[in-house]
Amino acid sequence: MNAPSLDPVDRALVLASQDGLPLCREPWRALAEQVGIPEAEVIARLQRMLDQGAIRRIGAIPNHYRLGYTANGMSVWDVTDERVDELGMVIGALPFVSHCYRRPRALPIWPYNLFAMVHGQSRDAVAEKVAVIAGILGPEARAHQTLYSSRILKKSGLRLK
Amino acid sequence: MNPALDDTDRTIVNALQGGFPLVPRPFAVVAASLGLDEDDLIERVRRLVGNGVLSRFGPLFQAERLGGAVTLAAMAVPEARFDAVAEMVGAFPEVAHNYQREHTLNMWFVVAAETPAGLAETLTRIGVLTGLAVHNFPRLAEYYIGLRLDA
């Protein structure tokens, strides 16, 4: 993955906004004052980071649990390497899949190469959604499992220090 | 769903999961599109952050594109040592999330560092400290479209 390093101003912007924006009428101006650059430059830099994918999106980051999505299942699939990219795009586009990645297998303990995180309001709800994925993958998925989380041991989010 | 949310809160959570405009008065623009008052919208967003319905309000950064390195790792932790190992792993500032999952590989954690070398070093240190094999599952491809949670 292309990973340009941050210039010092980008870095200052990330540090100033990664815990959330100032909630006021002019948040970009407030951010600009914090970082010490003009508001227009804040806007231009954030737009560039959005365009480059360094920012996925800007807005409300919901807490799954507080919205009632208390069940999460990491569904994992053993999909033929030749078709995993094509099928991964289909699975990643499903509205109930929050993250979808190809990752390496770790044979013999771990035959799965496609990971799709599914959120639901109960395990039954997650299982229904996993069944939809199974239906789409059909025989292309040689095996699959759903790993439910039984406990959150740590959740601090990704941060720059 | 969460009963503490009224219809306006739900509308805000659903409508604002992306696309917050990069204009001088973004809340005014969003408020107009939702038929709300700018200050009322700001106050509600503040409350939704304050009561934890929103983890935060702002940019969602993608660590690798910022020059950092991220991976998902897993270990098979013996039940008797589980809590002690969870504490060791959680003490690493590079460990962002750690979940217990129902599988032989029963501990799954996200590790983020500022450089690939720092990431590799952290995984090695976790393995040495815990005496357990750390399975590394880096992303090889991403099929991300974007989650929309309905409130």
Q: Is there a domain that residue B11 lies in?
A: yes
Contact B138 A55 (CB under 8 A): no
Shared domain check, B107 and B78: yes
Nearest residue to B120 (alpha-carbon basis) of B132, B136, B139, B140: B136
Closest Cβ opposite residue B20 in set A52, A59, A115: A59
Closest Cβ opposite residue A55 in set B55, B59, B96: B59
Q: Is there a domain that residue B2 lies in?
A: no
CATH number of domain containing B93: 3.30.70.3460
Domain that holds residue B13: 7-50
Q: Is there a domain that residue B55 lies in?
A: no
Closest Cβ opposite residue A47 in set B22, B72, B151: B22
Most B CBs within 10 A among A79, A147, A158, A161, hence the mutation to make, goes to A158
CATH of domain A65-148: 3.30.70.920
Residue A3: pLDDT over 60: no
Neighbours of A160 (CB within 10 A): 15
Q: Shortest Cα distance from A30 to chain B (angstroms)? A: 10
Q: Is there a domain that residue B99 lies in?
A: yes
Q: Is there a domain that residue B142 lies in?
A: no
Domain ranges of chain A: 8-52, 65-148
Q: Is there a domain that residue B57 lies in?
A: no
- Higher-confidence residue of A159 and B122: namely B122
Shared domain check, B91 and B32: no
Percent of chain A having pLDDT more than 70? 93
Residue in chain A closest to B44 (alpha carbons) equals A23
pLDDT band, very low/low/confident/very high, at A72 (cuts 50, 70, 90)? confident
- Higher-confidence residue of B128 and A150: namely B128
pLDDT for B59-98, tens place per residue? 988 877 777 789 999 999 999 999 999 999 999 999 988 9
Shared domain check, B81 and B20: no
- CB environment A1-20: b (16+ within 10 A), e (fewer): eeeeebeeebebbbebbbeb
Q: Is there a domain that residue B151 lies in?
A: no
Shared domain check, B127 and B82: yes
Interface list for B 59-118 with A (CB within 8 A): 59-70, 72, 74, 76, 86, 89-90, 93, 95-105, 107-110, 112, 114
Q: Is there a domain that residue B56 lies in?
A: no
pLDDT at A27: 98
Total domains in the fold of chain B: 2
ipTM of the complex: 0.76
- Mean pLDDT, chain A, whole residue set: 90
Which regions of chain B are under pLDDT 50? none
Shared domain check, B128 and B76: yes
- Which helix (DSSP H) or strand (DSSP E) does residue B72 occupy? strand B69-75
Shared domain check, B91 and B131: yes
